[in-house]
A and B are shown apart, each in its own frame.
Chain A
Amino acid sequence: MKKWLFVFLVGIMALVVQAQTLVIKGSNTVYPIAQLWVEEFQKIHPDLIVTLEGAGSTTGIKALFNETTDVANSSRFLKPSEIEEMQKAGRYFAPILVAYDAIAVIVHPSVPLEDISIETLKKIYTGEITEWNQIDPKLPKRPIVVYSRNTASGTFETWVEKVLQGAKLSPRVQMLESSQAEIESVAKNPNAIAYTGMGYVTPQVKALKVNGVAPSVENVINGRYPISRPLFVFIDLKRFNNTWPMEGVVADYIRFILSPKGQKIVREAGYVPAYGTGE
């Protein structure tokens, strides 16, 4: 009995020691992609224990400083203050561009509107404009039903930054819990407007041009589409003797997310891949 217990304990110890871990923290925007990446990555490394947390880009970069994470997801580049702190500490956080978050503005297919400007969008979302005919006299005199993602989503963050430019939302704006709910709501309501990650747009709704630029992958990558931002993954090179890691879990993970398969996952999660998907 005792002997078996001992063997059992040693076995567990061996497992714990052997099991490799990968800790990923950071942006809520990158989180849905990272979830799919981790899922696939664990199929290649079945023994790997991965911890994934989404608590904001700042938290992720802070965790990189504290060495409590291996990989930091971020929906923004490093702030000047962070770069300063990094240099002072003699460290280098390598930025890896992994995807673009592009947001499409969607309306009901019956709305006779093709193009909308950022200013108009801002007016709609701050409540300065409440009826369709205020955008264009040809449109019906009906209230605009404005939908937004809830404040927890990364899409919302991008929207506040790129469209609202820090201004406050009108209290009439309805918060929805998922991109799916937004598509459904807009598809049913001819007076609705909403925004969603470009990858989620379906034929049930119409995606508008913004400032005359169509929401397409080409326009996002060539930088012409105004409501988009690059998404990054940061790793701390000091942990790899200030060189690029060629082996180890982190190296494998980075290689995987940049591979055609990893980039295909970016598209599956509703974002625009930064590199080729092999198609």
Chain B
Amino acid sequence: MMKKTISFLFVLLTSLAAVAVAAALFAIVFFIFSESIRAIREVGFGLFSPNWYPVWETEPEFGIGTMLLNSLILAVWTSVWVWILGLGVAIYLHRYASNRERELMLRILEYASGIPSVVLGLFGVLILGNLFLRLGAWSAQNFLNASIVLSILTLPFMVSLTFQSLEKVPRQLVEGAISLGAKDFAVIQVELKHAAPGIVNAMLSVFNRIFGETMIVLMVAGGANMLVGSFLDPVRPLTATLGSEIGEVAAGSLHYSVLFFIAFLVLSGCLILNVLTNRITRRLERWIKG
């Protein structure tokens, strides 16, 4: 009897926890959306204009166009580099590195992925920033600086996720390919095809992480609301504005509502990307089994 009650209680507790988590997620999305309704109603398409002057008493402007574009450009540019580099490193570790090398690299990546973003941001401000000034850049905090620091943040994820999916490719497949006379390059192709779901998953997670990262862009991107025209221009991505202004904004004001709209935009972007990732991964899995 006692045992039964305990097990019943346990099931009850875990299912309650599960429901609570799901409810919390929905509540968050709902809360953020309901707070941004006022912005959508009062500013409308003006939300996507380029000018951001939220606290001016005469003619305030709430355009997030420039920030959104900067966010996307920064995320795409950085992701492409991280994807290429990460894939390269993972293939090297998987196929060519000696055991000791691999162990060492994996250990280093593990530690690197544990560095808090604030610390990386400080590195960008203090070390990279000085370097940029010495090399003649007009601003220490700029697009390239942010891009480099974001790459450092996400490269470990990309490498270890890709490496793991490569390791999971069945041995027989590789051996079969080799015994059919496949050259190195062809073998890698076979492996990549098989690891594709994991790799695509890694790529999209990296993009997501870069798009949503706040602390680093707040510290090193430069904070100017100008559209990036060169690598050395200071920029201000969406998340930086949100992080900088939400703390002190008067609750209930239009400015507050627009900030929630930004949050909603970033959140829905990430959610859509997550759903897309799942879809694509599943489709790829089916294609491989094909």
Contacts and interface: CB of A to CB of B under 8 A. Distances in A.
Interface of A: 28, 54-56, 58-59, 142-143, 145, 150-153, 156-157, 160, 166, 168-169, 171-177, 181, 184-185, 188-189, 191
A173 B51 CA distance: 13
Contacts of B130: 188
A177 B244 CA distance: 7
B18 interface: no
B46 interface: no
B140 A172 contact: no
B160 to A, nearest CB: 32
Interface of B: 51, 53-58, 66, 125, 129-130, 133, 138-141, 218-219, 222-226, 234, 236, 244-245, 247-251
**For the complex of A and B, 5 pairs with smallest distance between CB atoms:** A152-B248, A175-B223, A171-B226, A174-B224, A171-B225
A169 B222 contact: no
B226 A172 contact: yes
Contacts of B244: 150-152, 175, 177
A185 B142 CA distance: 13
B224 A152 contact: no
A150 B245 CA distance: 8
B57 A166 contact: yes
Nearest to B248: A152
B251 A169 contact: no
Contact of A166 (B58, B218, B219): B58
Given A55-B250, A152-B248, A166-B58, A174 B133 contact: no
A188 B248 contact: no
Given A152-B247, A173-B224, 11 more contacts: A56-B250, A59-B250, A151-B244, A160-B55, A171-B225, A174-B141, A174-B222, A177-B218, A177-B219, A189-B139, A189-B140
B62 to A, nearest CB: 12
A174 B247 CA distance: 19
A55 B251 CA distance: 8
Contact of B224 (A28, A175, A189): A175
Contacts of A184: 125
A143 B137 CA distance: 11
Most buried by B among A56, A160, A171, A176: A171
Contacts, number: 72
Contact of A54 (B225, B236, B248): B248
A152 B249 contact: yes
A263 to B, nearest CB: 25
Nearest to A151: B55
A143 B218 CA distance: 23
Contacts of B226: 171-172
Contacts of A143: 138
Given A152-B244, A152-B247, A188-B133, A168 B138 contact: no
Contacts of A150: 223, 244-245
Most buried by B among A28, A142, A152: A152
A189 B248 contact: no
Contacts of A173: 224
B56 A160 contact: yes
Contacts of B250: 55-56, 58-59
Given A174-B222, A174-B224, A177-B218, A151 B140 contact: no
Contact of A185 (B51, B54, B140, B224): B140
26 contacts: A56-B250, A58-B250, A59-B250, A152-B244, A152-B245, A156-B55, A160-B55, A166-B56, A166-B58, A168-B53, A168-B56, A171-B51, A171-B224, A171-B225, A172-B224, A172-B234, A174-B139, A174-B141, A174-B223, A175-B244, A176-B223, A177-B223, A181-B125, A185-B140, A188-B129, A189-B133
Most buried by B among A142, A150, A169: A150
B250 to A, nearest CB: 5
Contacts of A185: 140-141
Contacts of A191: 138
A179 to B, nearest CB: 14
Contacts of B125: 181, 184
B74 to A, nearest CB: 16
B79 to A, nearest CB: 25
A152 B58 CA distance: 17
A134 to B, nearest CB: 15
A159 B51 CA distance: 19
A140 to B, nearest CB: 12
Most buried by B among A153, A160, A175, A188: A175
A51 B238 CA distance: 32
Given A189-B133, A189-B140, A191-B138, A28 B58 contact: no
Contact of A171 (B66, B129, B218, B248): B66
Contacts of B129: 188
A153 B222 CA distance: 17
A185 B125 CA distance: 9
Most buried by B among A54, A142, A185: A185
Most buried by A among B222, B223, B249: B223
B235 to A, nearest CB: 10
